[in-house]
Structure 1
Amino acid sequence: MRDYIRWAVSRFHQEQLFFGHGTDNAWDEARQLVLGALHLPFAIADSYLDCRLEDDEHAMLRDLLRQRIEQRVPTAYLLGEAWFCNLPFIVDERVLVPRSPIAELIDQHFAPWLADEPARILDLCTGSGCIGIACAYEFPEAEVVLADLSFDALEVANQNIERHELGERVYTVQGDGFAELPGQRFDLIVSNPPYVDAEDFADMPAEYQHEPEMGLACGEDGLDLVRRMLAEAADHLNERGVLIVEVGNSQVHVEALYPEVDFTWLEFERGGHGVFLLPAKLCREHQALFKQRLNG
């Protein structure tokens, strides 16, 4: 195993792979791929790295490393699994690879932003379901709705609900934004929607081409869906509810479009940016403005 990891690191550097789907360097990427493929923990004792491999394991590793290097397939897709909030999730090319900085907020119980324990949580644009399912672990009494436009994504989310045995209080809803949630209100709405603007999408590394485009790109400024979410959020938040949305590099577009709105831009110790928070009160106060600017 040690030889495969060393060889992979060299080749990853030589081929200038991009790391951004769970790791940020060649060593961690190689270790994750080799050990993950062999169903071994990332933190395995160093002595195990000298264990000999079976012939079929050699063949499997060579094939996976070839796909990672030649086809630029993200490691999570090659393994069929990604970790988020220290929880394993099934992933494939129907959903984005989990990597949102919102994980840090979940780990912190969304402190100090939530006034009370949320009874109902909405993970809008859920993809694999990782954010909502992680929230279900953090708030064991809450009902959690995982909503997405993509049937394919929700198939993966349902697999993850089953994997984590949360079917009694976590369920999926297929629809465009809030369209299939009429009259429903939540204490926490959290979303990692598509937000990549046209310029950034055109410049993304090859690894991102394996992810579903509808989970990444969303119009010229990346805010086609975010504008609609802001216009409708007040109708779906309880009185003391909170809206949290990741917009990444499109933060500049949000600030330019709504200079009157006092967004709280959250900071992260573990890296990440472009996540705003709006309490229900501000969603209501600015709803007319949000609706007015629906078309940019």
Structure 2
Amino acid sequence: MYDIAREHLRTVRDLHRFAVSRFNTAELFYGHGTTEAWDEAAYLILATLKLPVDRLEPVFDAHLLPEEIAQVLDVIQERVVTRKPAAYLTKEAYLGEFKFYVDERVIVPRSFIAEILFNDGLEPYVEHPELVHRALDLCTGSACLAILMAHAFPDAAIDAIDLSPDALDVAEINVLEYGLGDRVDLLDSNLFEAIPDERYDLIISNPPYVDAHSVAELPPEYLHEPEMALGSGEDGLDITREILAQATKHLNPRGVLVVEIGHNRDELEAQFPTLPFVWLSTESGDGFVFLLTREMLVEAGL
């Protein structure tokens, strides 16, 4: 089929129609930057052709060179055959207008915390950006959230921690690409182990939080991501519990902890009934990211 397509397809419109048909037939799973075949096809075609990824209409009827058609068809075929997320094929992922290098050493960037940082969602707990002098990103992966923090809090020095040396290699690429080598310090550590005496005005984390049952049922696309970046014990909360147990001693007075936990709100609240979780609002709902101050943690006995 792909050999026949090389002979007959001529325009971006042709390739887009072909890609959407192939993706739907293959029943691909989305969720790494797009949510449907139409958008996934548009992104892959535009990224492969080195065109702005948000401007399909102006080039829809553009005729392509044979080598360009071949490149696009190769990417379409690879997406269908391997079930790799599109970000691993293009080596890039976006959070808002921020672009990051990614490969299979890191999870594809996606975080409700990014939306919250874009929208000043930490107010009134962080009243002014300049009040954040030291910040920590736990489980940094590609360093995407550390980089967003650096832009949201321009006076902050940021530590970015991950247990995976491979992930930190990718993180370094992104930190240097944004010219933040003097502000973002990358550390190889199991959570707080490498920083026993450090304190911060803000700690954020998008840790692994998928429960064991859900890990066992993940679509093939997710199996290309590092396993350690997804699952966190039977109920998905092993790492979150450890963060809560240690956060108090690493927060300055009035310091803020922000953690993403996916769909685990009910289970988390049941396990910590004395904690007054503040659930931050996102476009998808208000039960995916919690905020606690140091004072809230202390009052709850943590």
TM-score, L = length of structure 1: 0.93
CA distance, structure 2, for counterparts of residue 40 and residue 271 of structure 1: 33
Given that 1:231 and 1:287 are in contact with CA atoms closer than 8 Å, whether structure 2 keeps it comes out as no
Q: Which amino acid aligns with 1:112?
A: P
After superposition, residues 1-296 of structure 1 pair within 5 angstroms as: 1-44=12-55, 46-109=57-120, 110-117=122-129, 118-269=132-283, 273-288=287-302
Q: Which amino acid aligns with 1:129?
A: A
Per the TM alignment, residue 3 of structure 1 is displaced from its structure 2 partner at its CA by 1.2
Q: Which amino acid aligns with 1:182?
A: P
Q: Which amino acid aligns with 2:231?
A: A
Number of residue equivalences = 288
Per the TM alignment, residue 23 of structure 1 is displaced from its structure 2 partner at its CA by 0.9
Per the TM alignment, residue 270 of structure 1 is displaced from its structure 2 partner at its CA by 5.1
Given that 2:279 and 2:286 are in contact with CA atoms closer than 8 Å, whether structure 1 keeps it comes out as no
CA distance, structure 2, for counterparts of residue 100 and residue 8 of structure 1: 27
Q: Kindly tell me: are residues 277 and 271 of structure 1, through their superposed partners in 2, closer, same or farther at Cα, counting changes over 3 Å?
A: same
Per the TM alignment, residue 80 of structure 1 is displaced from its structure 2 partner at its CA by 0.1
* CA offset digits 1:133-167 (Å, max 9, x no partner): 01111222211111100000000000000111111
Given that 2:112 and 2:288 are in contact with CA atoms closer than 8 Å, whether structure 1 keeps it comes out as no
Runs of 5+ unmatched residues, structure 2:
1-11
TM-score, L = length of structure 2: 0.91
* CA offset digits 1:222-276 (Å, max 9, x no partner): 1111111100000111101110101102223212211222111222125574211
* CA offset digits 1:99-143 (Å, max 9, x no partner): 111111111233233134311111100000001101111222211
Given that 1:142 and 1:169 are in contact with CA atoms closer than 8 Å, whether structure 2 keeps it comes out as yes
Per the TM alignment, residue 215 of structure 1 is displaced from its structure 2 partner at its CA by 0.2
Q: Which amino acid aligns with 2:293?
A: P
Q: Which amino acid aligns with 1:34?
A: I
CA distance, structure 1, for counterparts of residue 41 and residue 286 of structure 2: 23
CA distance, structure 2, for counterparts of residue 161 and residue 126 of structure 1: 11
| Matching residue of 2:6 | none
Query: SS at the partner of 2:60?
Result: helix
CA distance, structure 1, for counterparts of residue 166 and residue 100 of structure 2: 15
Runs of 5+ unmatched residues, structure 1:
289-296
Given that 2:277 and 2:291 are in contact with CA atoms closer than 8 Å, whether structure 1 keeps it comes out as yes
- Higher mean alpha-carbon deviation, 195-204 vs 53-62, is at 53-62
Query: SS at the partner of 2:236?
Result: coil
Per the TM alignment, residue 286 of structure 1 is displaced from its structure 2 partner at its CA by 2.8
Q: Which amino acid aligns with 1:58?
A: I
RMSD across aligned C-alpha pairs, in angstroms?
1.5
Given that 2:46 and 2:56 are in contact with CA atoms closer than 8 Å, whether structure 1 keeps it comes out as no
* CA offset digits 1:73-110 (Å, max 9, x no partner): 10011000001131000001111111111111111233
* CA offset digits 1:148-195 (Å, max 9, x no partner): 000000000000001111111112011000000121111110100011
CA distance, structure 2, for counterparts of residue 63 and residue 252 of structure 1: 44
- Higher mean alpha-carbon deviation, 256-265 vs 108-117, is at 108-117
Q: Kindly tell me: are residues 227 and 47 of structure 1, through their superposed partners in 2, closer, same or farther at Cα, counting changes over 3 Å?
A: closer
Q: Which amino acid aligns with 1:256?
A: A
